[in-house]
Structure 1
Amino acid sequence: MPRPRLIDRVSLGVQLPLTLISAPAGFGKTILLESWAALYHGPAVVKRIALDAGSEDAPAIVESVRDGLQGRDHDVLVLVVDCGDLAVTPKFGRSLHRLIRGNAGRVRVVLVTRSDPPLPLHLYRLAGTVAEIRAADLAFTTEETAALMRAHKLELTASEVTELQARTDGWPAGLMFAAMNLAGKADAERVIREFRGDSGNLAAYLMTEVLDAQPPELREFLLRTCIVDEVRPALAEALTGQACDLRSLQFLSHGNSFIRPVPGTADSYTYQPLFREFLRAQLLYERPAGVPALHRAAAAWFAQNRRPLEAIHHAVTAGEWRDAARYLVEDLDVAGLLVGCRRRHLTTLFADLPDDLDGADAAIIRAARALARFDVDRCTSELGKARARLDQQKSPRRQSALSVLRAVCASLGEDPECALVEVLTAEADLRAASPESALAHPEPRLLIAGCKGRVLLQLGDFPPALAAFTEGIALAEDNGAHEALVDFLGMAALVEAAWGHLRRAGEVVAHATALAESGAQLSQSAIVAGAWVHADRCDLPSAEEMVQRAADTAPTHDARVLAAALALVRARLLRASGDIDLAAAELRAARNSYGAQGGWLGQALTIDEAKMLVAQHQPREAVTAIEQSAGRDQVGSRLVLQRAAAEAGERPPAQPLPATDRVIALETQVDGWLVQAAESLRTGDSGRSGICVERALRLAAPEQLRRPFAEAPPAVRKLLQPSGELMRHHPWLRTPSPHGRDRTADRWAVARPELVLTTSLTSKEHEVLEYLAELLTTEEIASTMYVSVNTVRSHVRSILRKLSASRRNEAVRRAWELGLLPSRPDA
């Protein structure tokens, strides 16, 4: 196959006294020289010497060439010496050196060899009289690989060519064997994936052309060091029992024995992937009994040099499970079995951990594996075994691992209050650890952040729950834990949605979705959060679609929380479609599964069920459901009791004014005003009822929260008729249906709002906005507010940005549409 870039390299090289083409077998050295010679039309005479075992004395050949130059002053000779699989002897090297040095400008040597010759190459490099073409230069580029495959009538995709290039490192002989394997095969991707160096023609080639051609000492070195992915001098000594320094590895690399430096390191070398596979297979064939000992030596070296992941790998390969367990618990972190970028790797390594292996470390690992399967009972049992053995194997790392696993286990249970105690204890233990340990082992902190956020969400403590998930997001981003990052984003979005921050929840879900499109799977938490947002905005089709998607995602440790949240959304959708009986059954099943001590989230199931009982004209049953619940004193529970009393025609219990605490969910705040409005209508105070509904609408408008109005008492819903005054002042409640008709909130409108605020207005910005609506000038606003004109201008710019407006009147119009201003003039 023509390779112009290399032919040009040779043509430039032969203008110097020495051109060295040095690479292992199968790199196309001889073919390159033949291609070049066929195209060369320069002034020099080309003479080729091919050495083999039957050749006459090589130094004598060189001397005869040198003697033949005597008396021929104007001839220039290019002497191509192809050593084949023979090494250049010191005597031959001296002859070549004399020939080059004594005939500068008249003789140019092209030396083709598999290893560096005994020539003073450093002097040639210093003088600039040598051109070197090595394995890295001879390796095929991706474009050349694709062209080679096409030449063999193999049409591969770009990804298949890239994979083949990675498997072979562009080694020409490897590519040729791969082409042979691919011929006539339909599934090229599978053939490339399964192409290996330890079988078939490729293994036979590597045996005869590479391994058997090495001196006995080097052959032994290659076989004993091939079990590791990267070779370092001290590690090589541990594996071979022989002294090895960096210069030895550098020499091997220059000798092109399929070993090369690892980029970015000063002393690490690695074998070509196919060659490494071949060496490992050959080692296992020649001395199977000695392989475990080599892996034990490698495990000990890696453990001593603070490389616990590699230590675990080699200990497991050697069958030393006790050591592997100790390396994980003491030197790495057992939390890596549950979260982080090493989770899959560690799970695979410990998949076959014996169930009868004793010791605290083994019990801790089995507990973590049980948690990965959501088996809380097995985890509790194994943690008990671990605690019983800690007296003999006590250490801070084991205690910390135990504390973290207990917190995770508790967070999956039915009592969030008790779980919070365990989580805070584990969090304190982690904070007491050294900063270096916290930096090196982020997995426990990731777990605790998730546990803390999960428990606090169940308790309805939204600000610290969101803070915990936000901390988890930062940790996951800093440590490349992409799966955990998407999970944390989803849970943060769910907190925002439950809190009533629907705009922010939608933004976080969009962020998680973007990450999923770039490779990570969209988490169930993000889907449930999205469904919650759509349901609260009365976007029924979108909510139903996301509910269906949630059922197809893999479970996580948040599965219990997400099941309850999803049941709430499903029940609300069923109620919206008119199937209240099925909605109530959904809630009862979820409540029985979730448990009685459920905190805010568990009570939310009861509250929604009680609301449906009121809607079905069963107020006494609703009261019973609330009074028998653990969260009967929650604000939402008391609001349901008021609704039930009004439905029963009884005097409602004395209640405080509707909650305005920002920590309370927005739905509950809005519901409080709607319940007050209904009570005012019942007592004939229509003025008071209008004020209450107006306050509810102003609260809900920035988030486009429509569902509470759709589920409001019938008397309140009458105030929200399409032609009514309130609807005219709050058009965001009315959104177009798929058929073009206006639908109010009591029909669960479908379309998404066009206007979305990315950030809430501050109190000062809201004040400025009201003055803008009154058509005050900048100077008049500044005088009224006792601030500078520049300050007012700054507020105006911020308002325009947040409302996506370019002019003041446009901002005021959008503020009216969003309900940020009390009313719009009739004009």
Structure 2
Amino acid sequence: MLIETKLRPPELKRDLVARARLLRQLDGALAARLVVLSAPPGFGKSTLLGQWIASLKARDAAVGWLALDRDDDEIGRFLSYLVAALQRADPQVAPHVPALLQSSPVLPVDSVLTSIVNDLSHRTQPLFLILDDCQFLSSPEICRFLDALLAYAPASLHLVVATRGPLPFGLAHMRVRGQLINLDDMQLRFSLEETESLFQAAELRDLPLSDVVTLQHRTEGWVAGLQLASLSLEEPAGRAAFIRNFSGSHRDVAEFLTQDVLARQSPDLRDFLIKTSILSRISAPLADAVLGRDDSAAMLQAIEAANLFLIPLDRERHWFRYHHLFAEFLQAQLQEVGRGEIAKLHGRAADWLSANGLTSEAVAHALAAGDADRAAALVEDCAMPLIMASHLNTVRAWLGQLPPDLIARRPRLQLAEVWIQFHMSRPQEAARTLKSAKQSIVAAQAAGKLDRETQAALQAELCTLTVGVVSAADRSRTAARLADSWADAIPENRPFFKGTLGNINAFCHFSLGDLDGARILSLKARDSHGAAQSVFGVVYSDLILGLVEKAAGNLTGAAQFFARAIAAARRELGAGSYAEAMVAIFEVELLYEWCDLAGAERLLHTHRQIIEECGLVVHEMACKLHLARIAAARGRHDEAMAVLERAERLGIEKRYHRLTASALNDRVRLLLQRGDVQAARFALPARGVGGEGKKNAGLAALTPATEPEFMAQARVLIASAKPEAALKLLDRVADNVRRDGRLRRLSQVRALAAIASYQAGDALSALAAAVDAVSICAPQKALRTLVDEGQALREVIDFSRKRMPSWSGDTPTGQFLDRLMDEFGKPERGPTQSAHLRKGDPGFSPREIDVVQLLGIGHSNRDMAQALGMAPDTVKWHLKNIFGKLGVANRTQAVLRLQDIGLTLPQQPGP
């Protein structure tokens, strides 16, 4: 008797993630004889096939399903189930075979094959036979039967198999004949969009996109890992800690891997897996050296054939790595069963890697083996090549594990530390380390320890780093002067330093408003980096060229440079490198400008973490401003304001004036859009910006870095019904940016000038300013520059459009303005107000109401942050606003004040 459930497709749960891209690939089975889904457990093979079967049956297709197990690896039992599956799809296929199988004293394999093939040949419509869990099949008789079935069956039969391990029949001849579709674990992984859908289906819609991206990266799209993570995220409390610590040793993941993967392997294979988990990548010779064996090639072949989370890293399959979560799980197992061997294994790995020229990989193992002196020597050998390839985090991690006194004795390590501090926007620390390195180099020279070539190389590096540190301190004019005077002193045989000095100088000229100078310097620097084969330098040159085009108002040209830089980074370094991230952060601004908020937010959160960990302040500045602007565009004003305040404080802390000025301008704009003129007015002097009462305040200090402060002052003056005063400021800024050819900033300034002129009743000037702004924005489809100015600019555009014939009809400008008006008309998507205060509401925002509720029942700041899913700084920011609106100085006074004004609070929080 057959087990009926083996012949039924899996029951599909509700709210499954629709995998349209894979379903389309499976539909290609109509043009293929064989479809293979091959992946480790937990990659959703059966579920995907269940979804596909549902779509096939909706189209009246004939489908047979068979779920295999260990007992089916016997030819007689296998044929009984195979025929039964075929008959579920078409009762006319092999109707007499079941009786034949039961009555014949000798198993009639050839007769069964003939009957199936002949009956299928009468079909004109396709029939799909799906075999799940084919890894259980190893019988030679079954192999021969399936090979023959594929060889002789008519075109109407399409065989679909899912397996965790090797298949029982050959695929080469099917592939050669173009009759094979193969989906492996790389294709079955969840994309970021599918991961978002998974968490939404699990009622985790409030999970921030940044957390979704983190889990996507940690699991590498492994479906089971994401599902296990979602179960632990159902309670908001503790989510941040769980996501931060999620790994292969997490209880649910470890239990799944222990029971469903490791327990099925032989003791020898388990030992191999556990001990090789210390290796970030594995080859047979390396594994032989580490484990003291000579059969690692065969072991790796067995692991790959069994689909044990082993990922090939080259076409020749010489190098592999384990899936990150699987590696972490195996490393946790090693801590339990082989702790005493760990240092020895790392030492052997360092020996082999160093001997085979893989110095950078040897460093990590030398450190793990506890050999600091050896590790330091290795870091000296490979730090600069890694820096040239943008692997700054790797070098930073190594230096962090070396004793400080060891670094202080080695000038090369000190210089490597300066590179890291410079790129992490820590100019004060970098200056101190650079001074110490200079002293060490002078001492080494005096002692005769440095030859002439080494001295020249160290001098070139010192010049480059000195200019870099000065630039990182936001002293662009000084840095540019030094770079110009030292450029010829860099030897031609040091192209990386020459190119880096050129890039730093190019950025300084860009930040000073000299776009042409920045272009020329960047192009020369790019040539030098090409000669040095430094992908990091080439990418950075293209980044500066893109920033120059963006400042010039040529967003399309900027996008082309950014795309070229990202393509180079991915080609040389793979996806997700720091080099890619530092370009992508600026690409976010283009997507935002083009009103692709979803794309901008996704790209931002994909690269945000690496930029915040290790990025120049200009990149961190861009990251924070994009976060705030996207949040505001989504209607999350409180979040945007908190981010901007943090950005201003960061700019003050890092002494990076352009960051403080830009964040201040954005914050003033948002405050005024909320109608809080008083808060906007006070924000300026609080940051040292001249107020409206001071005649010509701050005009002498107009620079590209301070222009946003002038715009912020103009905004306050407009809101204070002083448009003429605002126009004086804006005209000064407009003259500055027009002279430099910085059309993007000009469009922003002229949009504000249009609002001021319109308020002043000067229709002609308002029309002229509006024409300037639209003329710059329309060809580049730069919508958000205008949309972000809100209703005030909409009125001016509407007024101007009626007076400009070329702005109407089916012209390019008319189409742009149609889209602009649509964007103006879209309501902001903000949080729903979850609770309501009664009596005497002092104008709290919805999020402030949530905070007030928790304040009223005695929650601490930390409790509020956990309950509301906020950062602690955001809670503090809300409390400061609440205290200001209530006119109190602390929490106790706030609660008493709420009672005094007759404001009642519910006894339980309502967010």
* 2:439 match: 384
Q: CA deviation at 1:175?
A: 2.7
- The separation in 2 between residues aligned to 1:525 and 1:151, in whole angstroms, is 34
Assess if the C-alpha contact under 8 Å between 1:145 and 1:161 holds in 2. Answer: yes
* 1:95 alignment partner, one of 109, 119, 142: 142
* 1:119 alignment partner, one of 169, 186, 198: 169
* 1:290 match: 341
* 1:24 alignment partner, one of 17, 22, 40: 40
Assess if the C-alpha contact under 8 Å between 2:33 and 2:159 holds in 1. Answer: yes
- The separation in 2 between residues aligned to 1:46 and 1:223, in whole angstroms, is 37
TM-score by length of 2: 0.46
Residue 255, structure 1, aligned to residue 306, structure 2: yes
Q: CA deviation at 1:177?
A: 1.0
* 2:404 alignment partner, one of 349, 355, 359: 355
Residue 201, structure 1, aligned to residue 252, structure 2: yes
* 1:178 alignment partner, one of 229, 232, 238: 229
Residue identity matched to 2:166: D
- The separation in 2 between residues aligned to 1:37 and 1:410, in whole angstroms, is 64
* 1:431 match: 491
Residue 213, structure 1, aligned to residue 213, structure 2: no
Assess if the C-alpha contact under 8 Å between 1:14 and 1:110 holds in 2. Answer: no
Residue identity matched to 1:401: L
- The separation in 1 between residues aligned to 2:442 and 2:412, in whole angstroms, is 10
User: 1:793-826 CA distances to partner (integer Å, 9 max, x unpaired)?
Assistant: xxxxxxxx99xxxxxxxxxxxxxxxxxxxxxxxx
Assess if the C-alpha contact under 8 Å between 1:311 and 1:327 holds in 2. Answer: yes
- The separation in 2 between residues aligned to 1:47 and 1:741, in whole angstroms, is 77
Residue identity matched to 1:61: R
- The separation in 1 between residues aligned to 2:736 and 2:480, in whole angstroms, is 36
* 2:185 match: 135
TM-score by length of 1: 0.50
- The separation in 2 between residues aligned to 1:491 and 1:169, in whole angstroms, is 32
The structure-2 alpha-carbon separation of the partners of 1:741 and 1:42, relative to structure 1 and needing over 3 Å to count, comes to: closer
Q: CA deviation at 1:287?
A: 2.2
Residue identity matched to 1:374: Q
**How many residue pairs align between the two structures?**
567
* 2:205 alignment partner, one of 151, 155, 160: 155
- The separation in 2 between residues aligned to 1:737 and 1:173, in whole angstroms, is 55
SS in structure 2 of the partner of residue 350 of structure 1:
helix
- The separation in 1 between residues aligned to 2:520 and 2:62, in whole angstroms, is 78
The structure-2 alpha-carbon separation of the partners of 1:335 and 1:443, relative to structure 1 and needing over 3 Å to count, comes to: farther
Assess if the C-alpha contact under 8 Å between 1:368 and 1:379 holds in 2. Answer: no
- The separation in 1 between residues aligned to 2:437 and 2:654, in whole angstroms, is 21
Assess if the C-alpha contact under 8 Å between 2:40 and 2:309 holds in 1. Answer: yes
* 1:67 match: 107
Q: CA deviation at 1:525?
A: 13
Assess if the C-alpha contact under 8 Å between 2:192 and 2:216 holds in 1. Answer: yes
User: After the TM superposition, which residues 309-708 of structure 1 pair with which residues of structure 2 at under 5 Å, given as runs?
Assistant: 309-333=360-384, 336=387, 341-357=390-406, 358-359=409-410, 361-362=412-413, 374=428, 376=431, 379-389=434-444, 391=448, 396=453, 400-401=457-458, 404-405=461-462, 408=465, 430-433=490-493, 438=495, 442=496, 445-446=499-500, 450=504, 479-480=535-536, 517=589, 552-553=650-651, 577=694
The structure-2 alpha-carbon separation of the partners of 1:362 and 1:23, relative to structure 1 and needing over 3 Å to count, comes to: closer
Unaligned runs of 5+ in 1: 497-501, 528-545, 563-569, 584-603, 606-664, 666-703, 708-734, 762-800, 803-827
The structure-2 alpha-carbon separation of the partners of 1:323 and 1:554, relative to structure 1 and needing over 3 Å to count, comes to: farther
Q: CA deviation at 1:553?
A: 1.7
- The separation in 2 between residues aligned to 1:557 and 1:469, in whole angstroms, is 25
Assess if the C-alpha contact under 8 Å between 1:315 and 1:324 holds in 2. Answer: yes
SS in structure 2 of the partner of residue 356 of structure 1:
helix
Assess if the C-alpha contact under 8 Å between 1:329 and 1:397 holds in 2. Answer: no
Structure number with bigger Rg: 1
- The separation in 2 between residues aligned to 1:558 and 1:741, in whole angstroms, is 30
Q: CA deviation at 1:344?
A: 4.6
* 2:278 match: 227
The structure-2 alpha-carbon separation of the partners of 1:23 and 1:392, relative to structure 1 and needing over 3 Å to count, comes to: same
User: 1:767-786 CA distances to partner (integer Å, 9 max, x unpaired)?
Assistant: xxxxxxxxxxxxxxxxxxxx
Assess if the C-alpha contact under 8 Å between 2:248 and 2:325 holds in 1. Answer: yes
- The separation in 2 between residues aligned to 1:738 and 1:206, in whole angstroms, is 65
Assess if the C-alpha contact under 8 Å between 2:386 and 2:395 holds in 1. Answer: no
Assess if the C-alpha contact under 8 Å between 1:197 and 1:275 holds in 2. Answer: yes
Q: CA deviation at 1:383?
A: 3.7
The structure-2 alpha-carbon separation of the partners of 1:248 and 1:399, relative to structure 1 and needing over 3 Å to count, comes to: farther
- The separation in 2 between residues aligned to 1:109 and 1:578, in whole angstroms, is 83
- The separation in 1 between residues aligned to 2:298 and 2:30, in whole angstroms, is 30
Q: CA deviation at 1:135?
A: 3.5
Assess if the C-alpha contact under 8 Å between 2:359 and 2:381 holds in 1. Answer: no
Unaligned runs of 5+ in 2: 1-11, 81-100, 121-127, 471-475, 563-582, 591-603, 605-610, 622-643, 661-686, 711-716, 742-774, 777-911
* 2:321 alignment partner, one of 267, 270, 282: 270
SS in structure 2 of the partner of residue 260 of structure 1:
strand
Which deviates more, 235-244 or 513-522? 513-522
The structure-2 alpha-carbon separation of the partners of 1:16 and 1:325, relative to structure 1 and needing over 3 Å to count, comes to: closer
Residue identity matched to 1:433: N
Residue identity matched to 2:228: F
Assess if the C-alpha contact under 8 Å between 1:23 and 1:115 holds in 2. Answer: yes
When the two chains are superposed, the root-mean-square deviation of aligned CA atoms in Å is: 6.8
Residue 51, structure 1, aligned to residue 70, structure 2: yes
SS in structure 2 of the partner of residue 431 of structure 1:
coil
SS in structure 2 of the partner of residue 333 of structure 1:
helix
- The separation in 2 between residues aligned to 1:558 and 1:162, in whole angstroms, is 29
SS in structure 2 of the partner of residue 332 of structure 1:
helix
Residue identity matched to 2:428: F
Q: CA deviation at 1:206?
A: 0.9
The structure-2 alpha-carbon separation of the partners of 1:553 and 1:475, relative to structure 1 and needing over 3 Å to count, comes to: farther
Q: CA deviation at 1:278?
A: 1.2
- The separation in 2 between residues aligned to 1:572 and 1:150, in whole angstroms, is 45
Q: CA deviation at 1:315?
A: 3.6
- The separation in 2 between residues aligned to 1:575 and 1:19, in whole angstroms, is 72
Assess if the C-alpha contact under 8 Å between 2:233 and 2:239 holds in 1. Answer: yes
Assess if the C-alpha contact under 8 Å between 2:350 and 2:366 holds in 1. Answer: yes
The structure-2 alpha-carbon separation of the partners of 1:402 and 1:29, relative to structure 1 and needing over 3 Å to count, comes to: same
Q: CA deviation at 1:258?
A: 0.8
SS in structure 1 of the partner of residue 172 of structure 2:
helix
Residue identity matched to 2:107: D
- The separation in 1 between residues aligned to 2:736 and 2:695, in whole angstroms, is 30
Q: CA deviation at 1:350?
A: 1.0
The structure-2 alpha-carbon separation of the partners of 1:576 and 1:466, relative to structure 1 and needing over 3 Å to count, comes to: farther
Q: CA deviation at 1:230?
A: 3.6
Whose helix proportion is higher, 1 or 2?
2
Q: CA deviation at 1:256?
A: 1.4
- The separation in 1 between residues aligned to 2:29 and 2:619, in whole angstroms, is 63
Residue identity matched to 1:405: L
Q: CA deviation at 1:202?
A: 0.9
- The separation in 1 between residues aligned to 2:28 and 2:433, in whole angstroms, is 71
SS in structure 2 of the partner of residue 185 of structure 1:
coil
Q: CA deviation at 1:203?
A: 0.8
